[in-house]
Amino acid sequence: MNARIPLALGAARAAAALGRRLGRGGGTALPGLLAERIAPDAASALARPLAGGAVLVTGTNGKTTTARLLAGMLTAAGRPVVHNREGSNLTRGIVSALAAAADWRGRPRDARAIALMETDEAALPAAVRALRPRAAAFTNLFRDQLDRYGEVETVAARWREALALLPPDATLALNADDPAVAELALDWRGPVHWHSLAGARAGTGDPGPADARWCRACGAAYRYAARYAAHLGDWRCDGCGRARPVPDTAALAVERAPDGLRLDVSGLGETLLPLRGLYNAGNALAAVALARVLGLPPDAIRAGLAAARPAFGRGETVEFGGRRLRLLLCKNPAGATEALRLLAEDGAAEVAFLLNDRFADGRDVSWIWDAGFERLAGNVRRCRAGGDRAADAALRLRYAGWPAPASVTRSPAAFLDAVAAAPARDGPVDVLVTYTALLDLRAELSRRGAVAGAAVSG
């Protein structure tokens, strides 16, 4: 073991303790950042002794929910897990999680554990190199914050770079419904486990703009027998005959239930997933696919699905001032469009859009014009705009045909004051919110005693 590891772990532990004292959910990255500065190979040194090996989850949307679902399945199967959490998708977050699960010398507290890591596109090659995963899931590929990750093609190139670094016997869990993800199989000779929403009825209304349009193998345009969302669906290329692969794990039916989704998954039977939105059915399938690759028994897979809870900002609800706030993180056009579709299904009456443009949100906010806010025109009774770019948010809502915002506020405190000024009988408020705006809102809610502040960190 590298002699610098104990020193790196000491720094990580001190930073984690400080983060906890300051009550920062974002304290998840700093310990790893420090540890990596001191011992650049900390990730591989800490992951190597784990007998369960490593699993990576990547993709534009759904990483957090997919990884959490799989963590629940592993726990139900009695398998110890080391899991990085929200906001720590770069290698420093991976190191933070591994450091927290190791003793001071860098030996794992439970050597049977499996490392389950969600990874941003940008950090994927480094994570693959450090962890040498036995399985990797690719959920989907959408256009994300452009200035941070570049165009879809750049991300796809990064993915191919990561594939070349994977152990040749690693299994890819791929979303068959996303042609951009399916293209990875063109470069991969190892095993693949495909999953698909094949049995889901195509989404109601406009599935939104498609991000993958042309076949990489031949350049022809993709054609769809059904589209679930954006470019996800039953696709084929007339140019070269490539088409959606036959799934190993498929949803035979997806139905809305009062408190979530009822899924019928091939080989698993009917299961209740207590999460809303078709995109969460896709996340569940990705988790089931990985669980099968890892050999988990069906009972544990079902138990993990049934125990699902919304992740931070993925539909969690918070009581505030007698009203219920539902927090829906949106980071890119596809994610925002899916959140808006969920609100359209649920009949949202009061909706707020909090838009920041800090580094973690993407500095370029032009993506909001590609998100389908029009979907809710005529349904929203009252709306609010907020965040550092509140004026841009307000303008977007006006162009989408929403009513004039009842409040346009930059600070989360002013936003909550405006919400609290309305009577409790006005009912719930759905809050679409970018990443750093969500962190700020969470902190302000916590200050006002509306949420238990500890729920986020990890």
Question: If you write DSSP's letter for every residue of 118-148 in order, what string do you get?
Answer: E--GGGHHHHHHHH--SEEEE-------HHH
Identify which range of 29-37, 92-100, 216-224, 267-275 contacts Zn ion by CB under 5 A: 216-224
Q: Which residue is nearest to Zn ion (CB)?
A: 215
Smallest separation (angstroms) from Zn ion to the CB of 179: 9
If one asks whether residue 1 binds Zn ion (CB under 5 A), the answer comes out as no
Question: Max alpha carbon distance in the chain (Å)?
Answer: 64
Interface region with Zn ion, contact rule CB under 5 A, candidates 63-71, 185-193, 212-220, 325-333: 212-220
Q: Which stretch binds Zn ion (CB under 5 A): 218-226, 258-266, 268-276, 305-313?
A: 218-226
Comparing CB distances to Zn ion, the nearer of 215 and 281 is: 215
Nearer to Zn ion, 123 or 184 (CB): 184
Instruction: Check: CB of residue 38 under 8 Å from CB of residue 7.
Output: yes
Q: Does 51 bind Zn ion (CB under 5 A)?
A: no
26 vs 239, beta carbon nearer Zn ion: 239
Residue for token digits 């930073």? 15
By beta-carbon proximity to Zn ion, the closer residue of 214 and 359 is 214
Among 18, 111, 218, 225, binds Zn ion (CB under 5 A): 218
DSSP reduced 3-state for 63:
helix
Minimum CB separation of residue 339 from Zn ion in Å reads: 32
- Taking CB under 5 A as the criterion, the residue among 39, 116, 215, 286 binding Zn ion is 215
What's the min distance (Å) between Cβ of 241 and Zn ion? 7
Contact segment (CB under 5 A) with Zn ion among 187-195, 215-223, 280-288, 393-401 equals 215-223
Nearer to Zn ion by Cβ, of 242 and 384: the residue is 242
B/e letters for 234-245, b = 16+ CB within 10 Å, e = fewer, are bbbbeeeebbbe
Q: Name the residue nearer to Zn ion (CB basis): 199 or 239.
A: 239
* Smallest separation, CB 220 to Zn ion (Å): 5
**Helix 5-22, helix 91-100: angle, nearest 10:** 90
The reply to whether 186 sits near Zn ion by the rule CB under 5 A is no
CB of 218 vs Zn ion, minimal distance in Å: 3
204: CB partners within 8 A, 6+ apart: 341, 345
Q: Of the two residues 234 and 392, which places its CB atom closer to Zn ion in the complex?
A: 234
CB 174 to Zn ion: min, Å: 17
- Token pair of 68 as six digits: 């959490």
Pick out residues in 234-253 that bind Zn ion (CB under 5 A). Answer: 237, 239-240
Report how far residue 144's alpha carbon sits from residue 251's, in angstroms, rounded to the nearest whole number: 26
Between 237 and 431, whose beta carbon lies closer to Zn ion? 237
What single string gives the DSSP state of each residue in 237-294? ETTT--BPPPPSEEEEEEEEETTEEEEEETTTEEEEE---SHHHHHHHHHHHHHHHHT
Closest CA to 5 of 51, 54, 50, 46: 46
Instruction: Name the nearest CA neighbour of 333 among 186, 169, 146, 205.
Output: 146
- Collapsed DSSP state (helix, strand, coil) of residue 87: coil
| C-alpha angle 80-81-87 in degrees, rounded to nearest 5 | 160
3-state SS class at 192:
strand
Interface with Zn ion, residue 212, by CB under 5 A: no
Q: Minimal distance in Å, beta carbon 217 to Zn ion?
A: 4
Q: Contacts with Zn ion: how many residues (CB under 5 A)?
A: 7
The token pair at 11 is 């720094």
CA dist., res. 185 & res. 29, Å (int): 32
240 or 455: CB nearest Zn ion? 240
Q: Which of 217, 257, 404, 421 binds Zn ion (CB under 5 A)?
A: 217
CB of 113 to Zn ion, least distance (A): 42
- β pairing state of 260-265 and 269-273: antiparallel
Q: Which stretch binds Zn ion (CB under 5 A): 56-64, 128-136, 231-239, 443-451?
A: 231-239
- Least distance between Zn ion and beta carbon 239 (Å): 4
CB nearer to Zn ion: give 237 or 445: 237
Contact residues for Zn ion (CB under 5 A)? 215, 217-218, 220, 237, 239-240
